Amino acid sequence: MQQLNEDQTDCLSELINVAYGKATARLADIMGAFATMRPPRIAVIDRERFRQILQQACLAAGSCYLARQIFRGDVSGEVVFLLDEISATNITHYLQAQLGPDDTDQDDVLLELGNIVTAAMMRELSLRMGARITLGEPELHRLITEPADQTTASGAFDHVIKVETVIEFAEQQVQGRIFILTHGHCFEWIRQALDRVLNDLPN
Amino acid sequence: MKMLVVDDSRMARRILIGMLPEPLREGADIHQGVNGEEAISLWREHRPDLIFLDLTMPVMSGFDALVAIREQDQNTPILVVSADIQARAVEKVMAGGANGFIDKSKLEAQLHDNLQRLGFV
């Protein structure tokens, strides 16, 4: 599996930080609440580690919600937003209290929130890296204990960029993780794009 | 001219310093920190003429450092440079005594505007 060097990691971390800021601001607008952001932690992991993380998250929380969205273009892959059960419940209750519970069941809320986070993040990130992408329809899955194969296309991807952070809304911690899953050749494209960004930095 | 650039991201510091107008950067004494605590201790040690402060940092946030510095120093210009662009985040730092807010996704333009407004270029 390919990895990023120190400069590429720093560069991607900063690009993701800016993209995550946009996603959080969109979410905060919709929630009508101030979100306290924490610095996102970035790592490149392989498919097996990704499966283990999903499993551990489900075992620890009983169940998890996973919102996923496919992207295609100069780079292709899948972006996944993972929320544990408590975070999902907290955020849904909060939003239902703001909007009224009538038309908003938990799955609707989580699908929309997942879509906002992943779309805002991927749009900003692709813009920064000079990539043209289109995003597919978002999907939501509830994972119980053992992630089923059909809930992610992880089997098709061999590189996973893990973005881990905690967002606090109105004193409620929402622990969200974003995973960007991609193929080796797209990962190489990302590495080259990061090198272009680094080369364009002012001296 | 002494400057303090505080951001937990080495890349963010490098980008910001690289984007400073050459007349301002050349010959400047630029100190760098990685969290709010370092911001405070570097401010005490060097008494910079201008401070750039990120918000979202480990150990101590930029906002807490801003408030701590402002308790003792109301004069040194402090520009907050952040990816956290929520309207309330901007309001909070301005109320906390920052002299300006720079959205990291619009760094080049907003950096120049703020430096010009504060009379550094």
Question: Nearest by CB to A39, which of B10, B56, B85?
Answer: B56
Q: One-letter amino acid identity for B64?
A: D
**Cβ B83–A20 below 8 Å, yes or no?**
yes
SS (H, E, C) A46-103: CHHHHHHHHHHHHHHHCEEEEEEEEEEECCCEEEEEEEEHHHHHHHHHHHHHHHCCCC
Q: Are A174 and A86 in contact (CB under 8 A)?
A: no
**Predicted local distance difference test score (pLDDT) of residue B3:** 98
Question: Nearest by CB to B85, which of A7, A11, A21?
Answer: A21
Q: Which residues of B touch A11 (CB under 8 A)?
A: 11
Residue B27, H or E segment = none
Question: Which domain range does residue B102 map to?
Answer: 2-117
Q: For chain A, which ranges sit under pLDDT 70?
A: 99-104, 145-155, 170-171, 203
Each residue's pLDDT tens digit in chain B (121 positions)? 999 999 999 999 999 999 999 999 998 999 999 999 999 999 999 999 999 999 999 999 999 999 999 999 999 999 999 999 999 899 999 999 999 999 999 999 999 999 999 999 8
Question: Nearest by CB to A34, which of B12, B56, B88?
Answer: B88
Residue B91 CA to its chain's centroid (Å): 16
* Counted domains in chain B: 1
pLDDT tens readout for residues A29-67: 877 778 888 888 899 999 899 988 888 888 887 888 999
**A18 at B interface, C-beta within 8 A:** yes
- Which are the contacts of A188, defined by CB distance < 8 A and separation ≥ 6? A2
A residues 19..58 contacting B (CB < 8 A): 20-22, 24-25, 28-29, 34-35, 37-39
Size of interface A-B (CB pairs under 8 A): 60
Q: Which domains does chain A have, with CATH numbers?
A: 6-199 (3.40.1550.10)
**Predicted local distance difference test score (pLDDT) of residue A96:** 76
Q: How far is the alpha carbon of B108 from chain A, nearest alpha carbon, in Å?
A: 11
Among residues B118, B61, B113, the alpha carbon closest in space to that of B84 is found at: B61
Task: Look up the pTM and report it.
Answer: 0.86
**B75 at A interface, C-beta within 8 A:** no
Q: Specify the residue for token string 């009508």.
A: A32
Question: Nearest by CB to B10, which of A10, A18, A25?
Answer: A10
Closest chain B residue by Cα to residue A201: B15
Question: Nearest by CB to A22, which of B11, B57, B105?
Answer: B105
**Cβ A14–B12 below 8 Å, yes or no?**
yes
CATH number at residue B86: 3.40.50.2300
**Cβ B105–A21 below 8 Å, yes or no?**
yes
**Predicted local distance difference test score (pLDDT) of residue A103:** 59
- Which are the contacts of A118, defined by CB distance < 8 A and separation ≥ 6? A23, A67, A68, A69, A79, A80, A81, A135, A138, A178
What SS3 state is found at B34? coil
**Predicted local distance difference test score (pLDDT) of residue A26:** 83
Give the Å distances, CA to CA, from A117 to A152, A193, B29, B32.
18, 23, 40, 32
Closest chain B residue by Cα to residue A35: B86
CA atoms within 13 A on the CB side of A187: 19
**A5 at B interface, C-beta within 8 A:** no
**Predicted local distance difference test score (pLDDT) of residue B32:** 97
**Cβ B83–A17 below 8 Å, yes or no?**
yes
What SS3 state is found at A179? strand
**Predicted local distance difference test score (pLDDT) of residue B46:** 97
**B83 at A interface, C-beta within 8 A:** yes
What SS3 state is found at A137? coil
What ipTM score was computed for the predicted complex, to two decimals? 0.84
Question: Nearest by CB to B85, which of A25, A38, A203?
Answer: A25
**Predicted local distance difference test score (pLDDT) of residue A101:** 62
Q: One-letter amino acid identity for B23?
A: P
**Cβ B10–A17 below 8 Å, yes or no?**
no
**Cβ B84–A25 below 8 Å, yes or no?**
yes
